[in-house]
Structure 1
Amino acid sequence: MATKAVPAATPLSVSIDDVRAAQARISGSIVRTPTLISKTLSKLTGATVYLKFENLQFTAAYKERGALNTLLQLDEAARAKGVIAASAGNHAQGLAYHATRLGIPSTIVMPVNTPIVKVTQTEGHGATVILHGETFDAAYAHSRTLEAERGFTFIHPFDDARVIAGQGTAALEMLEDVPEIDMLVVPIGGGGLISGSSVVAKSEGRSVEVVGVQAELFPSMYNRIHHTEMPCAGDTLAEGIAVKEPGGITAGIVEALVDDIVLVGERRLEESVSLLLQIEKTVVEGAGAAGLAALLSEPERFKGRTVGTILCGGNIDTRLLANVLLRDLARSGRLARLSVRLQDRPGALFNVAKIFQEQGVNILELYHQRIFTTLPAKGLTLDVECETRDRNHLDRLITALRRAQYEVKQIELA
Structure 2
Amino acid sequence: MLTTRLDTARIRAARDVIDPVFLDSPLYRCAALEAALGCAVSVKLETANPVRSFKGRGTEVIASALGSGAVVCASAGNLGHALAWSGRNRGLDVTVVASRFAPATKLDRIRALGARLELVDGDFELARERAVDIARHDGIRLVEDSLDIETCEGAATIGLELVAAEPFDAVLIALGGGAMATGVGHVVKDCVPGAEVICVQPLGAPAMTLSWRRGQVVTTESTNTIADGVAARRPIPAVLDDLRQVADDAVLVQEASIIAGMRMLFDHAGLVVEPSAALGVAAILEDRERFAGRHVVTIVCGGNVDPEAHRRWTGR
State the TM-score bracket (shorter-chain normalisation): over 0.9
Aligned to 2:246: 257
1:92 paired to 2:84 = no
1-structure distance, mates of 2:175, 2:206: 9
> Paired residue for 1:185, among 172, 176, 180?
172
> Paired residue for 1:194, among 181, 197, 216?
181
1:14 counterpart SS class? coil
2-structure distance, mates of 1:231, 1:246: 10
- Larger deviation: 198-207 or 228-237? 228-237
> Paired residue for 2:233, among 234, 244, 264?
244
1-structure distance, mates of 2:251, 2:122: 30
> Paired residue for 1:30, among 19, 22, 31?
22
1:153 paired to 2:145 = no
User: 1:212·1:262 contact (CA, 8 Å) conserved in 2?
Assistant: yes
User: 1:217·1:232 contact (CA, 8 Å) conserved in 2?
Assistant: no
Alpha-carbon distance change, 112 to 306 in structure 1, aligned in 2, over 3 angstroms: closer
User: 2:196·2:248 contact (CA, 8 Å) conserved in 1?
Assistant: yes
Q: Structure 2 length as normaliser, TM-score?
A: 0.93
Task: State the Cα RMSD in Å.
Answer: 1.9
Aligned to 1:301: 290
2:208 counterpart SS class? helix
Q: Structure 1 length as normaliser, TM-score?
A: 0.72
Which residue identity lines up with residue 108 of structure 1 in the other structure? V
1:215 paired to 2:202 = yes
State how 1:2-401 maps to structure 2 within 5 Å.
6-7=1-2, 11-74=3-66, 76=67, 79-80=68-69, 82-178=70-166, 180-204=167-191, 206-227=193-214, 233-326=222-315
CA-to-partner distance for each residue in 1:135-189, whole Å, 9 max, x for gaps?
33332222112111212111112222111000111121122133x1121111100
User: 1:219·1:232 contact (CA, 8 Å) conserved in 2?
Assistant: no
User: 1:240·1:287 contact (CA, 8 Å) conserved in 2?
Assistant: yes
Structure 1: gaps spanning 5 or more residues: 1-5, 330-414
CA-to-partner distance for each residue in 1:8-59, whole Å, 9 max, x for gaps?
xxx3200211211112221524242110101122122222110001111211
CA-to-partner distance for each residue in 1:237-276, whole Å, 9 max, x for gaps?
2111111122222211111110011111011100110111
1-structure distance, mates of 2:53, 2:276: 10
1-structure distance, mates of 2:24, 2:254: 31
| Identity value in percent | 27
User: 2:189·2:246 contact (CA, 8 Å) conserved in 1?
Assistant: yes
2-structure distance, mates of 1:289, 1:165: 23
- Larger deviation: 191-200 or 35-44? 35-44
1:105 counterpart SS class? strand
After TM superposition, give the deviation of residue 205 of structure 1 in Å: 5.3
- Larger deviation: 124-133 or 206-215? 124-133
User: 1:220·1:245 contact (CA, 8 Å) conserved in 2?
Assistant: yes
1-structure distance, mates of 2:106, 2:244: 33
1:163 counterpart SS class? helix
User: 1:67·1:166 contact (CA, 8 Å) conserved in 2?
Assistant: yes
